[in-house]
Amino acid sequence: MKFYATTPIYYVNDKPHIGSAYTTIVCDALARAHRLRGDDVRFVTGTDENSQKNVEAMEKLGETDLSAYLDRMASAWQTTWRDIEITNDDFIRTTETRHLKAVERFWNASMEAGDIYLGSYESLYCEGCEEFKTETDLEGEKCPLHPNRELKTISEKNYFFKLSSYRDELLDLYASHPEIAQPASRLHEVRQYVTDHLTDISVSRESTSIPNGIPVPGDDSQRIYVWFDALINYISAVGFGTDDSQTEKWWPADLHLIGKDILKFHCALWPAMLLSAAKSDPLLKKLKDDGRLLPKNVFVHGFFTINGQKISKSIGNTIDPRDLVSKYGNDVVRYYLLREIPFGEDGDFSYDRLEERYASDLANTLGNLVQRVVAMSRKYFNGCAPSINPTKAAEAATDGVWSGGKGIADIEAAYDARIDRFRVDEALALIWGVGETKGSGLMQANKHIEETKPFQLIKEDETKTGEILYSILESIRHYAWLLDPIMPETSRKMLASLGLDRDEEAKKGIATLRAWGGLAPGSALPEPQPIFPRIETQGT
């Protein structure tokens, strides 16, 4: 199977912060999970470079060479993602030739379909959103997202897209394919917008009013509106305009992952644009006929705050994700962001909560379990995993506290269902033992040790002790593979604690990795090392 997932393309008016890292890390975890399954994965992120915001940021720095500025900032974003081990397969820039070709082809297709026309326009414009606003969008005559920025009244001759003519098709789409806007609250929001407020939108600006942007084909006096251009990145990144075979292979996107502030663009404008262009573009028409024109899922997450405050350069609370990683480690940051914040809802970052999660969930629950069970096994069984029949160990593990081997399959099935619904937060909770499989998680494995006391039982029953320890060691191997997409370095360390090499084991395929008994009874166990050593707390 194929899995094509995208993040939004990010403005380069600043460097990445923890909010943009959150979106990208979620997408990365999902891409890694699908790769581990053996799926053919394409994970794309990138930068939106035809924005007025970028010009303003450059001018504030006293620079005049826009191309050089964009190159430098795009490089900064790519470097950050490499530094925090994001595994994107492509990085699209909207100033690239491949994207310009796609935009020109797409514009011409919508124009030929009769959905783009020239008209006069006067409206309030928010430069922060780069969006024209109606009265229903405002709160107290201000943009709710940028209340400190004055709205501008813009009167221009622009090209318009007949968005309003797609009202019925969009409403039918929401009814038949509600996954186009997830979670359900976002579907309700966009449905209400389309029902009550959908209008034709301006899709160009006069060239004299903006210094950058893609020229309208055949009309140099106009430049294409940044959002019409930006949305096309999702299909230009897979060959539209340059390689139709790649588009046919990868399209549609299986997941667009976005923030709630760009819901209308992705769940109303973008589907309408695709439906429009498919009227005249042969490739898009074929995809429509095949039922493959529209993105399968658009998942919308909430806003991100830091200690209850919106992320803002003016407040001075932006956090470079690399600074967090250098202090706590990449996997700790990934775990905290993905476990702490219910996916789809607003979330808050706090150092205190991160360090609480580190101590409780990671060091005590996970790290202590691995180190303790490996140490006992080495001590009682000559440096090796107990030479126990894996099936009997699984059967013996169920005692009402922890369901051991029998429960692992339940966790794996529930985990897969969560990944398929993009709920990485719930997948992690299952591993720790929260949810319908709570008899099988890490917390219960620790309780199982306290209940059965193998450190005392060894004096009376070596076989029973071996069964207990083997069942937990083998479960740790399974937990490691469940954590592999989300906390890859931790997974590698867990497997190494069992004497296993992650890369060699991965060659066996997911079915073999999930078979009970993959840890060879009697195999040598290395000296246990702490996976989550004590850290100096931030205290903020």
Tell me how far CA of residue 208 lies from CA of 60, 130, 224, 307, in angstroms.
20, 16, 13, 42
Residue 100 lies in a domain: no
Number of domains in the chain: 1
Residue 366 lies in a domain: yes
Residue 444 lies in a domain: yes
SS3 226: helix
Mean pLDDT computed over 512-525 = 96
Calpha distance 27→17 (Å, rounded)? 16
- Mean of pLDDT over the chain: 92
Tokens of 28: 């990365």
Per-residue pLDDT band for 404 (boundaries 50, 70, 90) equals: low
Cβ proximity of 494 and 476 under 8 Å: yes
Tokens of 131: 């969006």
Query: Given this model, what pLDDT does residue 402 score?
Result: 64
Mean pLDDT computed over 519-535 = 94
Residue 422 lies in a domain: yes
Tokens of 537: 């707390």
Alpha carbon of residue 536 to chain centroid:
29
Calpha distance 140→33 (Å, rounded)? 45
Q: Which long-range contacts (CB under 8 A, 24 or more apart) does 143-149 make?
A: 145/261
Mean pLDDT computed over 240-246 = 98
**Which single residue is written with the structure tokens 């890369």?**
503
pLDDT > 90: percent of the chain: 80
Cα dihedral 202→203→204→210 (10° resolution): 90
Residue 464 lies in a domain: yes
Residue 128 lies in a domain: no
DSSP 411: H
Could you list the residue range(s) of the whole structural domain that residue 363 is in? 352-513
Cβ proximity of 28 and 87 under 8 Å: yes
Q: What one-letter code names the amino acid at 46?
A: G
Residue 502 lies in a domain: yes
pLDDT > 70: percent of the chain: 94
Residue 462 lies in a domain: yes
Cα dihedral 444→446→451→457 (10° resolution): 140
Q: What CATH code is carried by the domain that includes residue 390?
A: 1.10.730.10
Calpha distance 369→104 (Å, rounded)? 57
Q: What one-letter code names the amino acid at 369?
A: L
Residues contacting residue 462 through CB under 8 Å, at least 6 positions apart: 380
What are the φ and ψ backbone dihedral angles of 16, each rounded to 5 degrees?
-60, 145
Span 171-202, pLDDT tens digits? 999 999 999 999 999 999 999 999 999 999 99
Other Cβ atoms within 10 Å of 273 Cβ, number? 25
pTM (predicted TM-score): 0.92
What are the φ and ψ backbone dihedral angles of 252, each rounded to 5 degrees?
-85, 165
